[in-house]
Structure 1
Amino acid sequence: MLYSDVTPKSKRRRLRKSLDAGGLSIMPGAFNALSAQLIQQAGADGVYISGHMIAADLGLPDIGLTTATEVAQRAHQIARMVGIPSIVDADTGFGEPANAARTIQSLEDAGVAGCHIEDQINPKRCGHSAGIEVVDEEASIRRIRAAVAGRRRKDFVIIARTDARAAIGLDAAIERANAFVAAGADVVFPEALRGPDEYARFRQAIDVPLMLNLNEFGGRPPLTQTEARDLGYQLAVYPMTLMRLAMGATARGLRHILDEGSQTGVMDDMQTKDELYDTLDYEGYARFDQSILGA
């Protein structure tokens, strides 16, 4: 009832344990607290909170327009509702080294188990857009050093994302990834690699756990979970999949309502009242009220 009784510390430890185990953890992207509850209910390993999703939910493109406050607030709203770990996209850290360190502390306070910071220039773009640019290697390393230095809770997972593959090539991306590990990153997230062979090369070159994006509109067919597992990756996220499913259904439903003058023809596509009430635990709230009234 109300918020999860699993502490942020327990969630961070659960994420750390799963990374140490070496298997593949699946983290679908939540676009609000209710979808995060559905993700937990479905049995996923964790919840991913995408920067692209936060921007889209605000009606904005993913071009660096969101603020650290908006991201921390949404992360808190989602993380507090579930007992499984949440990871959030912290873009470029929202400023210079001190800003990146403050971002980490804000996200610790938000209750997420970890976050990733990338090496794009400001303002950043969606990682699968054309024209990606990255900062120079020393500037990118400073961001990770600042994030690690700002961390107060040592089990908070810091993920270093590199978009260098699209900007300056695979070898440079691998070089940066190793520098990020040396700077203290717990996990490396190589974005927008071009097929299984490149994912395999990354795995061979990097000694820490790896994260990958199973984005369905990345310009190439997404890897399957089996392929990701066989390649030796530890975290797989679906950043926008649930939001796209929901918005696609919403657009079709709206068209039907406006064209037909009734929602009757699309009711079979809806979540039922009972399903919603079960997810929101209406019975738990009723029991609480009865216990207080009874006392």
Structure 2
Amino acid sequence: MPGLFSSNVTPTDRRTAFRKALTSGTIQRLPGAFSPLVARAIQEAGLDGVYVSGAVVAADLALPDIGLTTLTEVAGRSRQIARATDLPVLVDADTGFGEPMSAARTVSELEDAGVAGCHLEDQVNPKRCGHLDGKEVVPTELMLRRITAAVNERRDDSFVICARTDAAAVEGIDSAIERAKAYADAGADLIFTEALHTPADFEKFRAAVDTPLLANMTEFGKTELLSASTLQDIGYNAVIYPVTTLRIAMGQVEAALSDIAETGTQTGWIDRMQHRSRLYELLRYSEYNAFDTDVFTYTRPDDN
């Protein structure tokens, strides 16, 4: 359990644990967190890590996922989320917010934010959602420069640098496989291939690439939703559910607001809400209260 104000586990220890888990034979399940409180709920649910989605950070700012967010915004939200959990946090760093020098600075900022790792992608900057049509990818040589710059800037060798390729939807799976091999040779610790369609696609990728692999199980996209156990059987090392918690929350929010607009009361939703007592439990309200009492019941000795 994290301390009251930050995690008790050092960033290096979380990074080292994440690296070890990626080669443990047990797939690592990383739901997306749109807030620090969700990250805490992910830990309490017994999951393995936390993912910070670029699409979710953008959506939370009421922006589309087309490269409009800044490094400052993503690093700031990542820092807040990493503070609230002892789990490793993996961050979507888009294209590195620019070209190779920007990718290097991105790694530096995210290391300072205390996260376990990040992924950089080979889309043209500005990028677009990986499950939409019309994507473009940069030449392999440019992506290799992004990865090399990121690896060279990394100060903590345990920080995980993941390379994402969107080439399968643009150039085909064979091209994505060749890119993945080149990215691993350039120093990527983990490979994320976006928008594969079927179990056979995942199996083909696993058979061809030796590096640990990450799967994206996002809803309403091009990928057939597979269970963690199925992906583990195929040989994948990690799986993200990037937008799931946001979609669940916003689906409920919109339905409830529509009901309130129609009826003028939220009473029909009481049984579907997180109870105040559970929120306070998740916030560890009693521990803060005990801390506050310990501080403010102190009586200063008489100065005389």
Query: TM-score interval w.r.t. the shorter chain?
Result: over 0.9
**Partner in structure 1 of residue 31 of structure 2:** 28
Shift of 1:194: 1.9
SS in 2 for 1:60: coil
**Partner in structure 2 of residue 230 of structure 1:** 233
**Partner in structure 2 of residue 141 of structure 1:** 144
Structure-2 separation of matches of 1:257 and 1:178: 53
**Which residue identity does 1:148 align to in structure 2?**
V
User: What do residues 177-202 of structure 1 show as CA deviations (whole Å, max 9, x unaligned)?
Assistant: 00001000000001111211111111
**Which residue identity does 1:276 align to in structure 2?**
L
SS in 1 for 2:163: strand
Shift of 1:10: 1.5
2:292 to 274, 289, 292: 289
Shift of 1:293: 2.5
**Partner in structure 1 of residue 125 of structure 2:** 122
* % same residue: 53
**Which residue identity does 2:105 align to in structure 1?**
R
Structure-1 separation of matches of 2:216 and 2:290: 41
**Partner in structure 2 of residue 269 of structure 1:** 272
**Partner in structure 2 of residue 250 of structure 1:** 253
**Partner in structure 2 of residue 85 of structure 1:** 88
**Which residue identity does 1:168 align to in structure 2?**
E
Structure-1 separation of matches of 2:162 and 2:25: 16
Matched, 1:96 2:99: yes
**Partner in structure 2 of residue 75 of structure 1:** 78
Shift of 1:220: 4.0
Please tell me whether the aligned partners of residues 5 and 83 of structure 2 are also in contact (alpha carbons under 8 angstroms): no
**Partner in structure 2 of residue 9 of structure 1:** 12
**Partner in structure 2 of residue 183 of structure 1:** 186
SS in 2 for 1:21: coil
Structure-2 separation of matches of 1:233 and 1:93: 25
**Partner in structure 2 of residue 213 of structure 1:** 216
**Partner in structure 1 of residue 58 of structure 2:** 55
**Partner in structure 1 of residue 301 of structure 2:** none
**Which residue identity does 1:138 align to in structure 2?**
E
Shift of 1:95: 1.1
2:205 to 181, 202, 206: 202
Please tell me whether the aligned partners of residues 122 and 138 of structure 2 are also in contact (alpha carbons under 8 angstroms): yes
Structure-1 separation of matches of 2:213 and 2:160: 12
Shift of 1:221: 2.7
Q: Which has the larger radius of gyration?
A: 2
**Partner in structure 2 of residue 150 of structure 1:** 153
TM-score (norm: length of structure 2)? 0.95
Structure 2: runs of 5+ lacking an equivalent: 299-304
Please tell me whether the aligned partners of residues 196 and 223 of structure 2 are also in contact (alpha carbons under 8 angstroms): no
**Which residue identity does 1:240 align to in structure 2?**
V
Matched, 1:64 2:71: no
1:38 to 19, 30, 41: 41
Structure 1: 4+ residue segments shifted above 6 A: none
TM-score (norm: length of structure 1)? 0.98
RMSD: 0.9
Structure 1: runs of 5+ lacking an equivalent: none
Please tell me whether the aligned partners of residues 95 and 120 of structure 2 are also in contact (alpha carbons under 8 angstroms): yes
User: What do residues 249-275 of structure 1 show as CA deviations (whole Å, max 9, x unaligned)?
Assistant: 000000111111111011111000001
SS in 1 for 2:175: helix
